Structure 1
Amino acid sequence: MFEHFTALTIEDGEGHLVARMNRPEVRNAIDATMVAELHELCAYLETTPKILILTGCEVNGRGIFASGADIAQLRERRREDALRGINSQIFDRIHHLPMPVIAALDGYALGGGAELAYAADFRIGTPHLKMGQPETNLGIIAAAGALWRLKELVGEPVALEILMAGRILNAQEALDLHLVTELHEPSELLDAARALADRIGAQDPLAVRITKRVFAAPRDAHPHIDELAQAILFESDAKFDRMQAFLERKKK
């Protein structure tokens, strides 16, 4: 299905799918081809819900997630391109996939690469991780999610320093700020992402999907949306089967 992809390498498993950005010659710069392939991938995952693991590749023996948007293409974009939201639209689509998204980060995750990582539900990294937003140094803003996602993730003071002063977070800083939740050596990163996917996959898929949707709802929607979602799950076969199995294990 994805054999024609050139910017992404896809490993499609039963419970999860691994999408590896694979443009080492430009440090995984996010270009129009990669965006188009990400849209095609999302279309598949919207109809065939699976956990998505997003990761990068190696460049000269060192890992890299994504160095940002392709500057050569970005330099030529004009007002109408900005209004199309080329990167912001695909990152938002990824964020709203039915099942969770895990970003496995090694090396640089800068600019659009960082914004892609922010769009994931989970972020894990390596000790070599560097995250930041260099856009203002290039005369633009971080318009693909960082201006609103980042303050929710790390708090307003740190977000402003990253967005306006060019601060680059190292791996330990990202961990301390809970921007990433785990650090692993590069050789162990993908296995750790798969282990996290397996832990999520062991839960009831419908309960996970509904949890993701309700979690993202605005404050004013609660508690009503929680009650409606629970009403749906209270009638599911999985609820009865899993609770019965729990009670039977407890008897032993």
Structure 2
Amino acid sequence: MTDASAGRRTDASPSAGAGAGAHAPSPLRIERFPDRVVATLDRPDVRNAIDQRTVDALHLLCAELEAIPRILILTGAGGVFASGADIAQLRERRADDARRGINANAFIRVAELPMPVIAALDGYALGGGAELAYAADIRIATPSLKIGNPETGLGILAAAGASWRLKEIVGDARAAEMLLTGRTVQADEALAIGLVSALHPASELLGAAHAIADRIARNDRDATIATKRVFRAPRAEHPRVDHEAQAVLFESPEKFRRMTEFLERKQP
């Protein structure tokens, strides 16, 4: 953890998502700071596979971060981000479950959080784990990353975001090849194609995520929220959405304060 966030934890809670099976360890370990939250997928016995309890815990966390916007760092315990959706549960799901978009709706909510989401990826990020990573705004990884969507090999498709998010990240041709073959991408290729923005040793991964969060936190929060919202707006809404967001920021006291400080520093 970097100096800017050291010693600022306000709460470390293992209880998110514990409503069902309250006596079982939570699948999502949460540390709260004034300007960020670190959420660690924590089902090491099944390589952090995403089950219904994990989805429920993500919804609870999103509700918290929608009410009090903070940066979110997502990571995984035990040298793995998430090996996929829980196959034992997935096998029992039927057509009505597919139409409910159980995982997809949780990941959409993560993607639409007001403040940036940083995914710190180690080891496997497969299937639903990859789709959760695609929902982040920024992805960094270790050299041991293995990421991809092998769903077609299991008789299903990647329906929790890969079919539309992956091509936005790496382009249509590359995304089609990855999804249709179901192959796993190694860390070096993930960096080369822009699927992750940087690689760090495992011992430095979380610190690197905090360093990114520190940089974001130094900026104006309202400007950051507006930038994320405008960036994710459909193409047809530009440039109107840019101008409307800028109009609000142009009147903000924080804009005047920051620009005045900048100009005063420039004075000889």
TM-score grouping bracket, smaller chain normalisation = over 0.9
Query: Could you tell me which residue of structure 2 aligns to residue 87 of structure 1?
Result: 103
In the TM superposition, what is the alpha-carbon distance from 1:223 to its structure 2 partner? 1.1
Query: Could you tell me which residue of structure 1 aligns to residue 56 of structure 2?
Result: 36
Q: For 1:146-185, what aligned pairs fall within 5 Å after superposition?
A: 146-185=162-201
Paired with 1:31 and 1:178, the residues of 2 have a C-alpha distance of 28
Query: Could you tell me which residue of structure 1 aligns to residue 121 of structure 2?
Result: 105
Identity of aligned pairs, percent?
Answer: 62
TM-score, length of structure 1 as denominator length:
0.97
Which residue of 14, 18, 21 corresponds with 2:38? 18
Q: SS of the counterpart of 1:217?
A: coil
In the TM superposition, what is the alpha-carbon distance from 1:166 to its structure 2 partner? 1.7
Query: Could you tell me which residue of structure 1 aligns to residue 89 of structure 2?
Result: 73
In the TM superposition, what is the alpha-carbon distance from 1:231 to its structure 2 partner? 0.6
Q: Deviations over 1:2-36 (max 9, x none)?
A: 44231011110111110000000000000000000
In the TM superposition, what is the alpha-carbon distance from 1:157 to its structure 2 partner? 1.8
Question: Which consecutive residues of structure 2, in runs of 5 or more, have no partner in the other structure?
Answer: 1-10, 17-25
Matched letter for residue 238 of structure 1: E
Deviating above 2 A after TM superposition, structure 1's stretches of 4 or more consecutive aligned residues are: 1-5
In the TM superposition, what is the alpha-carbon distance from 1:79 to its structure 2 partner? 0.5
**Structure 1 position 8 matched with structure 2 position 28:** yes
Matched letter for residue 40 of structure 2: R
Paired with 1:86 and 1:180, the residues of 2 have a C-alpha distance of 26
Which residue of 142, 151, 169 corresponds with 2:158? 142
Question: Which consecutive residues of structure 1, in runs of 5 or more, have no partner in the other structure?
Answer: none
In the TM superposition, what is the alpha-carbon distance from 1:225 to its structure 2 partner? 1.1
Matched letter for residue 86 of structure 2: D
Matched positions, count: 248
Which residue of 36, 40, 54 corresponds with 2:74? 54
Matched letter for residue 247 of structure 1: L
Matched letter for residue 157 of structure 1: A
Q: For 1:227-242, what aligned pairs fall within 5 Å after superposition?
A: 227-242=243-258
Paired with 1:152 and 1:10, the residues of 2 have a C-alpha distance of 29
Matched letter for residue 71 of structure 2: I
Compute the RMSD of aligned alpha carbons. 0.9
Paired with 2:235 and 2:43, the residues of 1 have a C-alpha distance of 40
Q: SS of the counterpart of 2:136?
A: coil
Paired with 1:15 and 1:197, the residues of 2 have a C-alpha distance of 9
Paired with 1:115 and 1:125, the residues of 2 have a C-alpha distance of 15
Paired with 1:148 and 1:178, the residues of 2 have a C-alpha distance of 16
Query: Could you tell me which residue of structure 2 aligns to residue 215 of structure 1?
Result: 231
Q: SS of the counterpart of 1:55?
A: strand
Paired with 1:47 and 1:246, the residues of 2 have a C-alpha distance of 31
TM-score, length of structure 2 as denominator length:
0.91
Sort the Cα spacing of 1:246 and 1:211 in 2 relative to 1 into closer, same or farther, 3 A. same
Is the 8 Å Cα contact of residues 15 and 29 (structure 2) preserved in structure 1? no
Q: SS of the counterpart of 2:113?
A: coil
Q: Deviations over 1:100-137 (max 9, x none)?
A: 00000000000000000000000000000000101000
Query: Could you tell me which residue of structure 1 aligns to residue 21 of structure 2?
Result: none
